Amino acid sequence: MTFASGDPTTLLLLRHGETALTPEKRFSGSGGSDPRLSEVGRRQAEAAAGMLAALGPVDAVVSSPLRRCRETAEAAARLLELEVRLAGGLREADFGTWDGLTFAEVRDKYPDELAAWLASPAAIPGETGESLESVTRRVAWSRDKLLAQYTGRTVLIVSHVAPLRTLLRLALGAPPESLFRMELAAASVSAVSYYGDGSSSVRFLNDTSHLR
């Protein structure tokens, strides 16, 4: 993959704020309920919006279509005076029958299935869910589309744990298992820059300083 020379294209990666499921660390994918931000999550979204506005010019805001991301993106877009564009490729993974369960509950009820999912990106979670291989394909497609459209500019992406970890993993050239070794807190901000020679650089990861 190559990009035009000149200024880097920077993707600011914002995870959505908390929902009622977030503090309980429950699986919340694209195939289950579509929870809205909690009161805490709304405050987090406003705090992240202030931090992003202070970073400097942002040229576009692109969000997963799920409600928690749209609400988070709208808070940032208001301060940045931009409209929110939706991108289906940035939606969360579908966790099938695991949706709404905690990690511990999945481990107790589906130990073999969970072990397979942790070991292989081709494994299907929750019987009818989406493999991490599939997530990677659509996230990479969305990334390439944005890099072509916004070459040399800065784009805010509002998404979920699996897509954002995937963008960071691909930028680092890290193996699939690294997805489970990244912490991305609710309303955290990370950033990746892409350069004209095709290289990428993770500028920062999981910044939550605006939430303190």
- The residues assigned a catalytic role are 16, 92
Distance CA 124, CA 120 (A): 9
**What span, in angstroms and rounded, lies between the C-alpha atoms of 195 and 152?**
8
CA distance 154 to 11: 6
How far lies 23's CA from each of 14, 92, 94, 109, 181, in Å?
18, 17, 20, 21, 19
How many other β-carbons are positioned within 10 Å of the β-carbon of residue 52? 22
DSSP characters for 158-206? EE-HHHHHHHHHHHHT--GGGGGG----TT-EEEEEE-TTS-EEEEEEE
**Which amino acid makes up residue 89?**
G
- Listed residue (32, 27, 75) closest to 53, CA to CA: 75
Please tell me what DSSP assigns to residue 23.
G
**Is 36 annotated to bind ligand?**
no
Binding-site annotation, residues: 68
Which segments are annotated as binding site for substrate?
Answer: 68
